[in-house]
Amino acid sequence: MNLEFDRRNTARISLQEFCSCMERLIDDELMMQYAVISMHNALQGYMTIYLRDNDLLDTWKNVHAKKWQEVEYPKMLATEGIYQPKRYPQLDFFMDLFDKVFSSKDHSLERESINALNEQRNNFIHFNTDYFTLEKQYALDACAEALKAIIFIASLDRRLFYYEEEQQDFEALCEKAKGQIDTHQSPNK
């Protein structure tokens, strides 16, 4: 049996998992690790959905997009069938995806907070030490900024949702995530 994954569901489920981790944070502060990873994954998902809907090549590293455009796509057209490349194109780096989505938009997002989220996620995924420390408020601030970015993306393009019910579920999920973040914010903030 094959499992099929798609960006839309992965982004939605990642946002749900973020909320789940935040609910469990009361009992286990270490759930922050998985909350950060989930929020990063959700933001990446919504950024790539937005970019893909405009031009799939925008989601890939430039070298892969150029190769696909010059070699793979014409080959696919020439064979009149779906051509499976030997290597799938690689998704662009997270902050490059962020810049592709937001660089020409009028927004109040703090790029440094998004970069902090990316670095936190990378540290959690790739660190190879026996010990790692992260300030909780720093992680919460980065997650809050990522949630603002996700909501902003949805305001740019309603094609993120096929049905009105999906959009309503998304909005409710974002409200839940915001509430979870607010619950854990430092009173001195």
Q: What is the pLDDT of residues 110-138, one digit of tens each?
A: 999 999 999 999 999 887 677 888 899 99
With cut-offs at 50, 70 and 90, classify the pLDDT of residue 68.
low
Containing 94, the helix (H) or strand (E) segment is helix 94-102
Percent of residues in the chain assigned helix, strand, coil, to nearest 5: 70, 0, 25
Q: Taking a C-beta distance cutoff of 8 angstroms, is the pair 101, 47 a contact?
A: yes
The proportion of the chain whose per-residue pLDDT surpasses 90, expressed as a percent, equals: 56
CA angle 153, 134, 47 (to 5 degrees): 15
The proportion of the chain whose per-residue pLDDT surpasses 70, expressed as a percent, equals: 80
What's the pTM value of the predicted model, to 2 decimals? 0.84
Q: Taking a C-beta distance cutoff of 8 angstroms, is the pair 178, 147 a contact?
A: yes
Task: State the pLDDT at residue 77.
Answer: 47
Task: State the pLDDT at residue 25.
Answer: 95
Residue 180 contacts by C-beta under 8 Å, 6 or more apart in sequence? 18, 19, 22, 23
In the 8-state DSSP scheme, what is residue 26?
T
Residue 118 backbone phi and psi in degrees, to 5? -60, -45
What are the residue boundaries of the structural domains of the chain, listed by start?
7-52+92-184
Task: State the pLDDT at residue 161.
Answer: 85
- CATH class label, 7-52+92-184: mainly alpha
In the 8-state DSSP scheme, what is residue 80?
T
Q: Token pair of 177, please?
A: 């995530």
Looking at every residue in the chain, the average pLDDT score rounds to 85
**Residue 60 bridge partners (DSSP):** 91
> Could you tell me which of 83, 50, 85 has the C-alpha nearest to residue 67?
85
Q: What is the pLDDT of residues 136-177, one digit of tens each?
A: 999 999 999 999 999 999 998 777 888 899 999 999 999 999
More confident residue, 66 or 45: 45
Poorest-confidence range of 34-48, 55-69, 79-93, 114-128?
A: 79-93
CA angle 87, 90, 93 (to 5 degrees): 165
